[in-house]
Structure 1
Amino acid sequence: MPDFKNILWSALIAGTALGSLALAPAALAQSSAPVQPAPSTRPEGVEAELARGAYLATAADCVACHTMPGGKPFAGGLKIATPMGNVVSTNITPDPVHGIGSYTEAEFENAVRHGVRKDGAHLYPVMPYVSYAGMTDQDVKALYEWFMHSVKPVPQDTEKTRLAFPASMRSAMVAWNFMARKEQPETGDSSTYDTVRRGQYLANALGHCGTCHTPRNALMSEKHDQYLAGASLGSWYAPNITSSKTGGIGNWSGDDLVTYLRTGRIKSRAQAAGPMAEVVEHSTSHLTDADLHALATFIKQVAPIEDKLDHTPRDAVGKAADVPDIRTRGPQRIDDLTEMDGPRLYDANCAACHGQDGAGVQDHYVPSLFANSTVGAGRPDNLVMTILKGVDRTASGAHAFMPGFDGQSDVQRLSDTEIARLVNYVTATFGTGDHHVTPEQVNTLRKAAH
């Protein structure tokens, strides 16, 4: 029997969901505004349907996976690293040769809802068709019309996905699809749903929050009895976002959650980085206030599930540290930079922005390191990844930036040993305590992100 767990591991680390309230691909080098259809003289009803399609594409965050850094919208080519090789996103512009321009509406629906291409080949569930299966017929039609008539065709082919055996056998998806639980198609006009039903539709069918935030079983299907209880994405960790007041976000108000989804940050609570920063930038920050409140209302009423490691609210940990400035001790010779301890690493790389006491800056552009859901988490994964990858998020007109220390930017590269020491110092000083992170753990996360 094929190893379905290896075949579908790519689905967990692809970052295609409402990532991490932390899935996903590198930040896109493009405008954060959703692509808008060009002005036309089409009848009003047609224009309304195209506008609906554009909004649905934004809510479903299609652009995140189908646009490579610096590339044209929806032209594909984004490489999503998995242990079995790179899954390369396809061109979904209406170009008839390289994209989906020759798809009929029925063929489009089959791909979106069932994960089957025009040629009959099965898609990998990196494409969250298991969630999109819940879309209404009306919304699938509007999405199809928008892609076919408003998205600019790009005559550009993409590199083929070549995964190691057994993941290379797309036919194995037939068996997995038979066993996987899919969302049931909703009915009626989704824009007229009541608040909770609309929020559920946004979370499950369009935003596919569970793709990242729900843990998986041995066959890599979502554990529906642990809905939104948190899951590893290989490098980042999508945390528990149930209504648990300790392990989840039960101590957040609905307005807190709306603010987070609109801006990517809540003062003295959380800041979006990694996959979730991309979701905020390209998707949730463009939703209407009504839809943001509907989404928040639904998520807030999800049954609480206690977390195995987070027994205290992640954003209620720590305080400003009374740390003496180590520079007052006088110069000290360090022959090998890898021997720098945590305090010196923090002073050299973090203190200039976050302060020696970890309080950040007054306007919170640079957040504090205490009362911070990343530093206060029982798992160090997202703190390691934030140090490695930094933050580069634009939402609601505000830009948040922190350089990464993985050597991919202009700042100095920190080694696995240095990052482990820095993480342990930061969590011991401002968070829940020394996590005893090892260089090997950092290296594993570093590799998983490439």
Structure 2
Amino acid sequence: MPDIFKTFRSFLIAGNVLGALHAAPVLAADEKAQDSKAAAASPAPAAPAADDEALLKRGADVALAADCMACHTTKNGKPFAGGLKIATPMGNVISTNITPDPEHGIGKYTEVQFDEAVRHGIRADGVNLYPVMPYVSYAGITDQDMKALYAWFMHRVQPVASTPPETALTFPANVRSAMKVWNMLATSETPETGDSMTFDTLRRGKYLANALEHCGTCHTPRNFMLGEKTDRYLGGAELAGWYAPNITSSKTGGIGDWSEDDIVSYLKTGQAHGRAQAAGSMGEVVSFSTSKLSDPDLHALAAYIKQVPALEDDVDHKPRDSFGQPMNDPDIRTDVPKRIDNLDQMSALQIFDDNCAACHGRNGAGTADHSVPSLFSNSAVGTARPDNLIMVILNGVDRKAGDHHAFMHGFNDKSQVERLSDAEIASLVNFLMEKFGSGSVNVTPEKVAEFRKQ
């Protein structure tokens, strides 16, 4: 693959980890003047009438389903005020303020300009957005839902008068005009027609999966031009250290053995007991979006996912949640020091006992109420790919769904006593997968170091 495609692929994937940049990025100095002129010429939107509450409620629901919050809100920050930093090999992408503040946000966007940005990737001054904002998926949003989304952003989101730091990327990522060519080659969703709230179950599920939740952005592999491989829809793809797994109806490589209720539980709570837990970018999708969807929408989404044509996986040839059993090993030591600098003095079993057993249990069964998951019958451990297990150990889990907060601290923080070295994590991953999962995968310290950089 040519270097320019490798570079841009890294940029695209880094953005997809957090979802979408849904509006105009911070402008470079020479572009600010153009944008100011365009904004000054644009009339302010008219306030919706009092009887438009149904439209505004629909807009709020569309924003939830499209997962707008994830990229445009920092931890403990004001909603949609931007400032979230997304690291890429070409520099940091800083998400923008998409509140209706007229000077710092999108308050001067007309409905037409808003539509152009969301569904076509063209901001108010005519400059192309990067496809880290999944406008190729949002192209499928209905006119009615776009109208509602615009009304809600303009009249229900609280304006925030702050401008995040500018995004400054290196070549070739800073060449926005290249997006014109990419847009001609990319496959966009066909705009849906009619009232999306009246769609039958499968049509509603398809609309949610493809146009709003943009599931394929993460779960579908990409070709050398970074377009989604339509013949591998939802077949699994690498994602900045994580692996968005095959979620087709395959009963061996996908989730064909999951019931509709299993999928609904996973989307609503981030956990399907005895199957999988959401972490990383999927944890954010659950926290900010799917946990807040209505039960009918969750069932529609699940019903659609279940009938996606099966694709066999290149690596996993048995259900990822079908491996393992409780461990009964009398040799676990309970008097291991908190930290031994020489790894040779500490076996993988002892690393497990010292860092994992207190929460997951010495037998790996987790807690009876499933607040701490089992390590066996667990997709992250049962897969033949160690990617997600490594990333969870490094980064932890921080997922909120309703009143439930799933939290596990990561072992990557240098300020924490519990930080594990690359060699210790490699030893622990091999141990966990051998004892509870698909078998030892021979992860090396060098491999962990690569993931740590992600």
Amino acid at match of 2:132: V
Query: What is aligned with 1:316?
Result: 322
Among 102, 106, 129, the residue aligned to 2:108: 102
Return the offset for 1:45: 3.2
Among 107, 114, 130, the residue aligned to 1:124: 130
More off after superposition, 199-208 vs 389-398? 389-398
Query: What is aligned with 2:97?
Result: 91
Return the offset for 1:442: 1.2
Relative to structure 1, the CA distance from residue 61 to residue 332 in structure 2 (aligned partners, 3 Å threshold; closer, same or farther) is closer
Contact preservation (8 Å) 1:243, 1:300:
yes
Unaligned stretches of 5+ in structure 1?
24-40
Contact preservation (8 Å) 1:2, 1:172:
no
Query: Quick check: 1:114 aligned with 2:120?
Result: yes
Contact preservation (8 Å) 1:354, 1:360:
yes
More off after superposition, 232-241 vs 157-166? 157-166
| Secondary structure in 2 matching 1:232 | strand
Query: What is aligned with 1:291?
Result: 297
Return the offset for 1:408: 6.0
Query: What is aligned with 1:3?
Result: 4
Contact preservation (8 Å) 1:389, 1:405:
yes
Return the offset for 1:154: 0.7
Give the Cα separation in 2 of the matches to 1:186 and 1:335. 59
Query: What is aligned with 2:382?
Result: 376
Amino acid at match of 1:142: A
Return the offset for 1:396: 2.7
| Secondary structure in 1 matching 2:379 | coil
Amino acid at match of 2:156: S
Note the alpha carbon deviations across 1:96-117, whole angstroms, 9 max, x for none.
Answer: 1111111111000000011111
Query: What is aligned with 1:338?
Result: 343
Give the Cα separation in 2 of the matches to 1:146 and 1:335. 55
Relative to structure 1, the CA distance from residue 106 to residue 332 in structure 2 (aligned partners, 3 Å threshold; closer, same or farther) is closer
Query: What is aligned with 2:275?
Result: 269
Note the alpha carbon deviations across 1:164-190, whole angstroms, 9 max, x for none.
Answer: 211111111111111001001111111
Give the Cα separation in 2 of the matches to 1:190 and 1:228. 23
Amino acid at match of 2:275: R
More off after superposition, 67-76 vs 251-260? 67-76
Return the offset for 1:331: 6.7
1:396-407 to 2 correspondences below 5 Å: 396-407=402-413
Among 341, 353, 364, the residue aligned to 2:359: 353
Relative to structure 1, the CA distance from residue 335 to residue 59 in structure 2 (aligned partners, 3 Å threshold; closer, same or farther) is closer
Query: Quick check: 1:252 aligned with 2:258?
Result: yes
Contact preservation (8 Å) 1:17, 1:212:
no
Give the Cα separation in 2 of the matches to 1:191 and 1:334. 56
Contact preservation (8 Å) 1:310, 1:378:
yes
Give the Cα separation in 1 of the matches to 2:175 and 2:338. 57
| Secondary structure in 2 matching 1:327 | coil
| Secondary structure in 2 matching 1:14 | helix
Query: What is aligned with 2:26?
Result: none
Give the Cα separation in 1 of the matches to 2:389 and 2:142. 39
Among 420, 428, 436, the residue aligned to 2:442: 436
Give the Cα separation in 1 of the matches to 2:339 and 2:231. 53
Amino acid at match of 1:290: P
| Secondary structure in 1 matching 2:381 | coil
Note the alpha carbon deviations across 1:246-300, whole angstroms, 9 max, x for none.
Answer: 1000000011101111111111111111111111111001111110010001000
Among 190, 197, 200, the residue aligned to 2:196: 190
1:36-115 to 2 correspondences below 5 Å: 43=49, 45-115=51-121
Query: Quick check: 1:165 aligned with 2:166?
Result: no
Contact preservation (8 Å) 1:96, 1:102:
yes
Q: Which has the higher contact order (CA 8 A, sep 6+)?
A: 1
Contact preservation (8 Å) 1:209, 1:228:
yes
Query: Quick check: 1:394 aligned with 2:408?
Result: no
Note the alpha carbon deviations across 1:19-39, whole angstroms, 9 max, x for none.
Answer: 9xxx9xxxxxxxxxxxxxxxx
Return the offset for 1:73: 0.6
Query: What is aligned with 2:38?
Result: none
| Secondary structure in 1 matching 2:309 | coil
Q: Which runs of 4+ in 1 moved over 4 A?
A: 16-19, 41-44, 330-335, 408-411
Give the Cα separation in 2 of the matches to 1:424 and 1:70. 36
Return the offset for 1:69: 1.8
Among 417, 424, 431, the residue aligned to 1:418: 424
Among 277, 280, 290, the residue aligned to 2:286: 280
Relative to structure 1, the CA distance from residue 149 to residue 355 in structure 2 (aligned partners, 3 Å threshold; closer, same or farther) is same
Return the offset for 1:158: 1.3
More off after superposition, 390-399 vs 182-191? 390-399
Relative to structure 1, the CA distance from residue 351 to residue 403 in structure 2 (aligned partners, 3 Å threshold; closer, same or farther) is same
Contact preservation (8 Å) 1:9, 1:220:
no
Note the alpha carbon deviations across 1:399-420, whole angstroms, 9 max, x for none.
Answer: 2111111116745211111111
Give the Cα separation in 2 of the matches to 1:254 and 1:230. 20
| Secondary structure in 2 matching 1:375 | helix
Return the offset for 1:337: 3.6
Query: What is aligned with 1:209?
Result: 215
| Secondary structure in 1 matching 2:225 | coil
Among 232, 235, 247, the residue aligned to 1:229: 235
Aligned CA-pair RMSD: 2.1
Contact preservation (8 Å) 1:4, 1:176:
no
Contact preservation (8 Å) 2:48, 2:151:
no
Return the offset for 1:163: 1.6
Amino acid at match of 1:336: D
Note the alpha carbon deviations across 1:314-333, whole angstroms, 9 max, x for none.
Answer: 001011112124226x7799
Relative to structure 1, the CA distance from residue 409 to residue 127 in structure 2 (aligned partners, 3 Å threshold; closer, same or farther) is farther
Query: What is aligned with 1:30?
Result: none
Query: What is aligned with 2:37?
Result: none
| Secondary structure in 2 matching 1:276 | helix
Note the alpha carbon deviations across 1:27-71, whole angstroms, 9 max, x for none.
Answer: xxxxxxxxxxxxxx9755311111110110001010000111221
